Amino acid sequence: MRPVDIAVTPGAAARLAEDHARGARSVHDSVSEALARAHAAQAACNCFVVIDDEGALAAADALDAAIAAGAPQGPLLGVPVAVKDILDSAGLPTRWGAPSFRDAAPAKADIAAVARLKAAGAVVIGKTTTTEFAHSPLGFSPLTGLTLNPFAAGLTCGGSSAGAGASVALGVTPLTLATDAGCSARLPAAATGVYGFKPTLSRVPHERVPDAFGSFIHLGLMARHVADLALGLDVASGPVANDPWSLRGAPEPANFAMGDNPLEGARVLLWLRTGNSRVAGEVEATTRRAAEVLEALGARVEEEAYGLAHPDPIWKTLQQTNWASRFASAGDAELAQLSPALAAGIREARAYSALDLARAQIGRAQLFRAVQGLLETRFDFILTPCVSAPLVAADFDLSAPLVVDGVEAGPLRAEWTAALSLFDLTGHPAIALPVGLAANGGPLGVQLVGRWNADATLLAAAAAFETALPPPPCPGV
């Protein structure tokens, strides 16, 4: 890794924690300001399921008292964070974006990632909106309604971590914990002009997943600066007993030296399509612009046609089987109460055979081995668009086909987000990088993918990219 003349954008989280540690500002003031931003963001874009004013301020006051007493301090000292509302944070309900969980009791305990954020000094200010049981790539929930895109209210903010993307874009918190099982952190990040990171599978453990060995659900992070992702990843990473994928030992630190540029001399594979039939002209131009930025940073970009299986049929079989398992005993009346796309997926999965499931599992392994082979022998990174066309309308019908440059392409998820689903299946680390705005006013992003367990290298590359091409300013900030 050769140092070059780049000044990595420092993270807001680290700066804020340092201010608290040296007494330049109180945690109470920082958390109060974050809560005020949260309420303003909620009024403007509907980002939160719950904002915990009382609990967050109590935690802030406890931290101020600990600082005054000289207690040991963590790297996220007093930093406000938010948590996606399918992840347990003690004292707050987990409602899953679902009317059936409207009256859920407060969680009794944190999941490991949330507990680690809190142990590092972070203050959870609330839970961000999600689609019902995190099933949709759009930003609507029958429990909370529509979460709006702060760049253009008529366009989707992406899903399923809808509120996470919008709230980070609006500057509510410097860091938000989300999930990504198909596109759920990277898509809303790309849709709202921020950075969305999906680490190597279970680097951030997810100990509550029923199908632990077959899981491709990643816990991810969203932020306005790459350095904040690195700090959050260091804090949240590490093994837990109940997540077998996490039991590979303590990972290498994610924080990178200022000025490191792993793109110097790196080989980057460019895939414009990953099984989808079409890519919009605007998206292609944006992705080629990103490739030029990588080349200016010293990389060698080689474009090739995608020659692997389409990831969507594999992803759909595995994911819809998970949905059907959750609702194994649900009758027609109960299914009718769910979001139509979720109910349709459950019904489809009930017709799958054991052979269908086995074929999907084998197909997933084949995708992993093919991508792994490319990254082991020929390339250091893979570059793709995040989505194949500019953002669709906020009220887009999930049963309708995606139209790309005036031509009907096919089902939305299969055509729009194939590049994102692919790397959930393979488990490789991937980050959504904001690149600019489309003609419709919505942000566009690209995806950069790295080798298994090379999360720090990927984040360092993303930080160099951020310096060369900063994200578009959010009009709501």
Q: Is 160 a catalytic residue?
A: yes
Q: Which of 160, 167, 237, 421 is catalytic?
A: 160
For 84, phi then psi, to 5°, come to -60, 145
Query: Which one is catalytic: 30, 84, 316, 339?
Result: 84
**Known catalytic residue at 184:** yes
The active-site residue out of 161, 184, 215, 237 is 184
Enumerate the active-site residues: 84, 160, 184
